Chain A
Amino acid sequence: GDSVTQTEGLVTLTEGLPVMLNCTYQTIYSNPFLFWYVQHLNESPRLLLKSFTDNKRTEHQGFHATLHKSSSSFHLQKSSAQLSDSALYYCALSLANSGTYQRFGTGTKLQVVP
């Protein structure tokens, strides 16, 4: 079945250092949509990025990710972490036009420290 893997449960970084959160996926379909959501404490998840196009960088609020179908990856990156980036980050997979839902990864908690 379809699945999303986020290998890191917790990432702790010093402010100012680059961020990279891993996301890989498995699906038999050739045209998946990939998403990154951010969830702050006691809030619902908020869409951060999404992509459908292979090898095209997508950016929002300083974060960026590129969907690579060859490696089934959609890693989230940011050049310089800020304290306010501390949150839970979820990678999700959706199959466009198939009537299905979004399947979430297990999430990565990002802790940015001074």
Chain B
Amino acid sequence: GALVYQYPRRTICKSGTSMRMECQAVGFQATSVAWYRQSPQKTFELIALSTVNSAIKYEQNFTQEKFPISHPNLSFSSMTVLNAYLEDRGLYLCGARDWGAKSAETLYFGSGTRLTVL
């Protein structure tokens, strides 16, 4: 079956430092990877959509300078939160799609990375 491993599950960083999270797709090809953030008491906001061999598209209020993303192949994607501050805390989630699959509309989600900023 299709699985997405996301790590770390939890991380704590000091204000002003950076942290990186990674997603590994197993059993399918992660043609597109969407990165979301769920801030406390809020819904999932899309940060950016990354497609292999295409430019990464960031949503309004999110920038490459703050959330650089790497999507080098069909099984791996990473995102870094640079200079993390209190407002960056929350659950970060990657969701991967396989455009070539029968259920191409399905997003396979990782388990999430919960970021705490001190």
Contact = CB atoms under 8 A, between A and B. Distances in A.
A63 B106 CA distance: 19
Interface of B is mostly: strand
B77 interface: no
Interface of A is mostly: loop
Given A44-B109, A107-B43, A96 B49 contact: no
Contacts of A97: 104
Contact of A101 (B42, B46, B99, B110): B46
A24 interface: no
A71 B77 CA distance: 38
Which of A97, A101, A104, A105 has the most B CB atoms < 10 Å from its CB? A101
Contact of B95 (A96, A102, A106): A102
B49 A101 contact: yes
Contacts of A45: 44, 93, 109
A95 to B, nearest CB: 8
Given A44-B93, A44-B112, A103 B105 contact: no
Interface in A56-104: 90, 94, 96-97, 99-104
Interface of B: 6, 32, 34, 36, 42-44, 46, 49, 51, 91, 93, 95, 99, 104-107, 109-112, 114
Given A44-B93, A44-B110, A99-B32, 8 more contacts: A44-B111, A46-B109, A99-B49, A101-B34, A101-B46, A104-B43, A105-B43, A107-B43
